[in-house]
């Protein structure tokens, strides 16, 4: 478990689901600039920054090639990391084919599953959120295919001009991949990530569960001292989370 202690007047920030590149690079560009503006703002008092997946609408790392574009956000992440601020990245269902580019080029660790963090003596369970809980069965089957080593090996032999265009097309068109087909509140009893968190609490205490993927800003009390947070997205809501010495706040970036 990684431990983070905030200094005086510092905060830990969380954001998810920027989906840069969708539906087209041109239409995504204003969102990228807005996200870079947010990074410029939070770096002033950030103790650490968590990015919880789907930063890109499609991402695949060949041995020597990554998708072109996103120069502004990648440069800003490099600048922030070089300044000494830790950044933690969790892959989502759109960028699950990340390998080691972020680690080698940006010195940013990449996680492929939820992780436990101790932040100011509060226990956090953090991840993207895809494939967790009792539902999402269609996506779970699809994820098994996408992460199967043979499938990844076959895909990488496609020329990048073909593979990247195919991946971008599927990411935009397939709602099962995008996760947007049910981007509405289902009620606490039907939210599968809420059910997942409650089940986790049966065996271990967590003060905060922080996820993305649902494209909805949500804050739900699970128990007296345990809260489920969904960060929303940077397509419709432009929301982010901030944790100071004692409390978590979900805020829209204007």
H helix count then E strand count, the chain = 8, 12
Dihedral (CA of 206, 211, 163, 109) sign: negative
Asked if the model's pLDDT at residue 175 lies above 60, the reply is: no
Dihedral (CA of 117, 122, 128, 130) sign: positive
Return the SS3 of 226: strand
Q: Which of 43-57, 173-187, 230-244 has the lowest mean pLDDT?
A: 173-187
What is the Cα–Cα distance from 254 to 174, expressed in whole angstroms?
Answer: 30
Asked if the model's pLDDT at residue 106 lies above 60, the reply is: yes
pLDDT of residue 188: 75
pLDDT of residue 102: 94
Torsion of the alpha carbons at 22, 75, 109 and 7, rounded to the nearest 10: -110
pLDDT of residue 23: 87
What is the Cα–Cα distance from 237 to 247, expressed in whole angstroms?
Answer: 21
- Note the residue count of the chain: 254
Q: Among 96-105, 159-168, 203-212, which range has the highest average pLDDT?
A: 203-212
Return the SS3 of 118: strand
Cα of 117 vs its chain's centroid, Å: 16
User: Tell me: the pLDDT tens digits for 160-172?
Assistant: 666 666 666 666 6
């Amino acid at each position: 478990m990684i431990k983070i202690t905030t200094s005086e007047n510092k905060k830990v920030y969380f954001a998810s689901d920027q989906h840069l590149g969708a539906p087209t690079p041109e239409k995504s560009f204003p969102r990228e600039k807005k996200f870079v503006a947010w990074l410029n703002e939070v770096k002033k008092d950030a103790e650490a920054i968590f990015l919880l997946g789907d930063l890109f609408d499609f991402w695949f790392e060949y041995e020597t090639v990554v998708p072109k574009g996103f120069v502004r956000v990648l440069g800003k992440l490099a600048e922030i990391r070089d300044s000494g601020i830790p950044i933690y990245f969790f892959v989502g269902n759109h960028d699950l084919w990340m390998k080691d580019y972020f680690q080698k080029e940006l010195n940013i660790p990449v996680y492929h599953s939820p992780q436990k963090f101790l932040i100011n003596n509060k226990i956090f369970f953090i991840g993207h959120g895809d494939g967790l809980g009792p539902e999402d069965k269609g996506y779970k089957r699809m994820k098994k295919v996408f992460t199967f080593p043979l499938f990844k090996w076959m895909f990488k032999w496609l020329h990048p001009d073909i593979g990247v265009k195919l991946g971008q097309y599927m990411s935009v068109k397939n709602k099962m991949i995008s996760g947007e087909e049910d981007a509405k509140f289902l009620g606490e009893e039907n939210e599968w990530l809420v059910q997942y968190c409650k089940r986790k609490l049966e065996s271990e205490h967590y003060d905060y569960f922080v996820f993305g993927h649902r494209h909805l800003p949500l804050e739900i009390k699970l128990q007296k001292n345990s809260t489920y947070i969904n960060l929303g997205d940077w397509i419709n809501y432009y929301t982010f989370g901030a944790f100071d010495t004692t409390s978590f706040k979900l805020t829209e970036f204007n």
